[in-house]
Structure 1
Amino acid sequence: MNPVEKDILARKNEIILEIRAVFKANMKITSWDVPEADDQLAGELIVNIMQEALDKLKEELQEGNFSNS
């Protein structure tokens, strides 16, 4: 395993927690903005948007159009 793989795998749980935190923050914002919100629907919509963002990042990475700067 190379150093990059070791580094990323060592931070795997942290990365997962950060993703969950973004989801929870958006759920909370929805409940503030729409107190009667359907949590299931809100969660599905948020996950769909997050997936779109991940798909776009993956596409950029595969095209070589992603840098750390």
Structure 2
Amino acid sequence: MTAQEKEINQMKSEIKKEVRLAFKANMKIFDWDIPENDDRKSAELIIAVMQEAIDELKKEIANGDFNQY
């Protein structure tokens, strides 16, 4: 097992927790800003933007942008 694999095993739950916190924080903002908010629609839109951000990061990784981070 590589050092990176050991580290991700230790960090995995914290990373997932941080992603969920970001999602829930944005859900609260939608609820505050939009009277009669459709929570399901908001969740779908938020997760789509989060996926877009992940896809962009994947491209940056593939391009070598984080080779010497």
* Pair in the same fold by TM > 0.5: yes
Distance of 1:6 and 1:37 partners within structure 2: 42
How far apart are 1:65 and its partner, in Å? 1.5
Q: TM-score normalised to the size of structure 2?
A: 0.93
Matched, 1:9 2:19: no
Percent of aligned positions with the same letter in both sequences? 51
What is the aligned residue count? 68
Distance of 2:30 and 2:24 partners within structure 1: 10
For structure 1, which runs of at least 5 residues remain unmatched after alignment?
Answer: none
Segments of 4+ in structure 1 off by > 6 A? none
For structure 2, which runs of at least 5 residues remain unmatched after alignment?
Answer: none
Q: TM-score normalised to the size of structure 1?
A: 0.93
How far apart are 1:35 and its partner, in Å? 2.8
Matched, 1:39 2:32: no
What is the root-mean-square deviation of aligned Cα atoms in Å? 1.0
1:8-37 Cα offsets, whole Å, 9 max, x none, are 121100000000000000000000001311
